[in-house]
């Protein structure tokens, strides 16, 4: 079977060092075909494919448009890995496992105790949509790790979620596709301090944690060498 491509929705940014080190981690540890940057392409990248998109909406609308553009592009592999520019694969994998965060209702309670706003509203609306579609106890796939996606299945999920302002597309797709998988805690590190799992398969970071935190230092030490996705002379 052919290896899945990597699809990376990207907003415009000045330099994006998180992407640089994420690419290094994928080149070393995550089996894949081509890399597709959807939206913006940093000047320093090399040997990647690019799908430009108009980014005129909210960040949620822009990423949804990017995923749709990848699914509709004939050259993107039918099965691809959906990743963000701050997902780091820390250990060598044979293939990407299917991972989830547990029941959406539990994740809702976690966010409701700490946050409000459109993200939480979108989580609740996505759950309600799934319940109406015959999934009474949907799982959350809103993890900061790669997700294996089937193009036709994701397009069907995006069509089902068209009426939502903030559709949780990973969760909608994962449940409609019946992915199942193994439960883990989310791997996002949001602080500068030492409390994170140094032996984790996957790590994700906030910009400040990457630039100034201990987790960013660990990632930079782990992947010191440029990879094929960095242009010669721009490393």
Over 70: is that where the pLDDT of 233 sits? no
Mean pLDDT across 113-135: 94
Q: What is the 3-state secondary structure (H, E, C) of 86-155?
A: CEEECCCCCCCCCEECCEHHHHHHHHHCCCCCHHHHHHHHHHHHHHHCCCCCCECCCCCCCEEEEHHHHH
Over 70: is that where the pLDDT of 235 sits? no
Rounded distance between C-alpha atoms, residue 233 and residue 235, angstroms: 6
pLDDT of 25 reads 98
> What is the domain range of residue 161?
5-94+145-170+187-222
pLDDT confidence bin for 13, thresholds 50/70/90: confident
133 occurs within a structural domain: no
176 occurs within a structural domain: no
175 occurs within a structural domain: no
Rounded distance between C-alpha atoms, residue 176 and residue 195, angstroms: 35
Count of structural domains within the chain = 1
Which residue do the tokens 């439960």 mark?
183
Mean pLDDT across 176-192: 98
DSSP-assigned beta bridge partners for residue 37: 8, 50
136 occurs within a structural domain: no
Q: pTM here?
A: 0.96
Q: Which of 38, 40, 87 is nearest to 65 (CA)?
A: 38
CATH number for position 19: 3.40.1380
Task: Please report which helix (H) or strand (E) contains residue 110, including its range.
Answer: helix 104-112
pLDDT confidence bin for 15, thresholds 50/70/90: confident
55 occurs within a structural domain: yes
Mean pLDDT across 163-169: 96
Environment class of 195 (CB within 10 Å of its CB; exposed 0-12, middle 13-18, buried 19+):
exposed
89 occurs within a structural domain: yes
pLDDT of 234 reads 54
Q: Which of 51, 47, 105, 45 is nearest to 76 (CA)?
A: 51
pLDDT confidence bin for 114, thresholds 50/70/90: confident
Give the tens place of pLDDT for each residue, 17-72.
999 999 999 999 999 999 999 999 999 999 999 999 999 999 999 999 999 999 99
Express as a percent the part of the chain with pLDDT over 70: 98
13 occurs within a structural domain: yes
Which residue do the tokens 């440029």 mark?
226
Mean pLDDT across 79-87: 98
205 occurs within a structural domain: yes
Rounded distance between C-alpha atoms, residue 184 and residue 214, angstroms: 22
């Amino acid at each position: 079977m052919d290896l899945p491509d990597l699809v990376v929705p990207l907003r415009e940014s000045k330099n994006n060092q998180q992407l640089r080190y994420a690419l290094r981690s994928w080149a070393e540890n995550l089996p894949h075909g081509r890399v597709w940057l959807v939206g913006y392409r940093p000047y320093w990248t090399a040997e990647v494919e690019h799908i430009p998109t108009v980014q005129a909406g909210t960040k949620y609308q822009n990423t949804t448009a990017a995923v749709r553009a990848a699914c509709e592009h004939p050259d993107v592999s039918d099965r691809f890995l959906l990743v963000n520019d701050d997902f780091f694969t820390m250990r060598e994998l044979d293939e990407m496992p299917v991972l989830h965060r547990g029941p959406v209702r539990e994740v809702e309670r976690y966010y409701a105790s700490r946050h409000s706003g459109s993200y939480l509203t979108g989580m609740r609306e996505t759950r309600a949509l799934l319940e109406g579609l015959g999934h009474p106890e949907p799982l959350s796939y809103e993890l900061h790790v790669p997700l294996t996606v089937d193009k036709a299945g994701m397009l069907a999920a995006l069509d089902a979620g068209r009426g939502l302002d903030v559709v949780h597309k990973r969760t909608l797709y994962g449940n409609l596709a019946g992915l199942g998988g193994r439960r883990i805690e989310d791997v996002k590190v949001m602080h500068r301090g030492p409390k994170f799992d140094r032996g984790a398969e996957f790590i994700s970071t906030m910009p400040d944690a990457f630039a100034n935190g201990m987790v960013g230092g660990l990632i930079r030490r782990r992947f010191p060498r440029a990879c094929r996705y960095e242009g010669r002379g721009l490393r």
